Amino acid sequence: MTFTISAPPHRKDEITFKKINWSKMAALLPVILISIYFFGIPALGIILAGVLSAIVFEVAIQKVFNQKISIADGHAIMIGLMVALIVPPEVPIWIPMAGSLFAIAIGKHIFGGIGSYVFNPVLAAWVFLNLAWGSIMTPVSFPQLGAISNLVLENGAGLLIGVSPIALLGGLVLIYLKYVEWRIPLSYFMTTMVLALLVGDNLSHVITGAFLFGVLFIATDMATSPVTKNGRVVYGILCGILTVIYGHFDNYVYAAFYGVFLANCVSSFIENVTLPRPFGTESYLQNKYRSIMKKIPFEKLGVSIDE
């Protein structure tokens, strides 16, 4: 009788990188369908152009550099899809193609492929397109939440992603399934809401499809966010602050993208300064609390405390 030998653990989770990517795409499916319904055939063309060109560029680059073709893990397809979703529907068909090329070649592979890139390839491509062809990339309108029905179907949507904020809540399922973790979306969302209220911005401008896409899909991108627990909270708060700064002076659609893009720059710095302390040692706050409590003369005040 033969037995397989391997090192522990002998029981592992079923989760794979492939599964994470494809489920993210599945979570985007409702918004894809609604955008095609809303914008018609041009939207379908843009999405297909983005996805197909992403596949072509990924395969080409991996062939040229003699790497293993990893198209099945869905990462390149997801990048192509996301690039296509954050362009306006009126753009010519080569815009999403150029975006995919930039995202795959410069955004992803130049930095070393999955897990190694510094900037989210989708955002890098969007920033590139926006700077290179600013006039084409400017949407015809920026959405404003007028009625509750706008959450379901946003008539003022300027980008494909903006058509239906509520359809993006599929991202919450990913959080529930633990494919995406909750600290970044929560801290990002809460910070933005609180700061936007403080600076007096109307929340109807803030809650757009682009912002929710940024919170649930872009900011939670794994390689460009810190891995430490505290670091992720800090990163989310930073994203929120940058978003509100940009959004207060311009608009919250661009703000979500530029905010996360700028936060990407410092994410590894955040990671390095928030490395967890070994278990059993006091955290910074506990240490401060204890040193303050020591200075209070409880005996003189006549208060007895337990150890």
Partner 1 sequence: MADINVMGNIPKKVIIPLRQHNGTDCDPLVKKGDQILVGQMIGECSSDDCTCVHSSVCGEVVSVEDAPNPCGKEIKSVIIEPAEVENCVDFIPTEDIEAVDLIKIIKEAGIVEHYGTPTHRVLSPEGKDIDSVIIDATSSEWVDGHFDTPVQYGIKIFGSLKLLMKAAGASTGAIVLRNDDMDSINAFDGLVYDDKNMNVAPLLGKRHIGYYLKDQGSDMVVVSHDRIYGKDRLSLFTHHVTGRKVPVNCAPADVGIAICSIKSAKALYDILHEGKPCIETVVSVSGKVKDPQRVLVKIGTPFKDVIEACGGYVGEPAKLIANGAITGVAQYTDEVPVTKVTTAITVQGPDEIHYDETIACIHCARCVDVCPVELVPSRLAALSDQGRFDECRQMNIVNCIECGKCAAVCPSKIHILQLIRYSKESINRAYEDIAPKESSNLKLGCSCGSD
User: What does the binding site for partner 1 look like in residue numbers (CB under 8 A)?
Assistant: 1, 3-13, 15-17, 19-20, 70, 73, 113-116, 178, 181, 222-223, 225-229, 232, 275-281
- Rounded to 5°, angle at Cα 267 from 169 and 282: 100
Question: Tokens 């600013």 appear where?
Answer: 134
Among residues 249 and 279, whose Cβ is nearest to partner 1? 279
Measured from the CB atom, the residue of 40 and 276 that comes closer to partner 1 is: 276
Residue 10 or residue 295: which is nearer to partner 1 going by CB? 10
Please say which residue, 179 or 254, places its beta carbon nearer to partner 1: 179
| Dist. CA 190–CA 237, nearest whole Å | 8
Q: Taking Cα atoms as reference points, which of 247, 240, 245 lies closest to residue 206? A: 247
Place of tokens 């063309």: 45
d(CA 85, CA 216): 14
Q: Write down the H helix ranges in 214-283.
A: 229-249, 252-273
Query: How far apart are CB 250 and partner 1 at their closest, in Å?
Result: 31
Provide the minimum distance between the beta carbon of 11 and partner 1 in the complex, in angstroms, as a whole number.
5
Q: Residue 261: CB partners within 8 Å, gap ≥ 6?
A: 119, 120, 123, 124, 127
Q: What is the DSSP letter of 74?
A: -
- Residue closer to partner 1, measured from CB, 73 or 90: 73
State which residue, 95 or 175, has the beta carbon closest to partner 1.
Answer: 175
Q: Minimum CB separation from partner 1 for residue 225, in Å?
A: 8
What is the smallest separation between the CB atom of 245 and partner 1, expressed in angstroms?
26
In angstroms, what is the minimal distance from the CB of 208 to partner 1? 27
First to last CA, the chain: 60
Residue type, 242: L
Integer-rounded Cα radius of gyration of the chain: 23
Minimum CB separation from partner 1 for residue 151, in Å?
30
DSSP 20: H
User: For residue 238, which amino acid is it?
Assistant: L
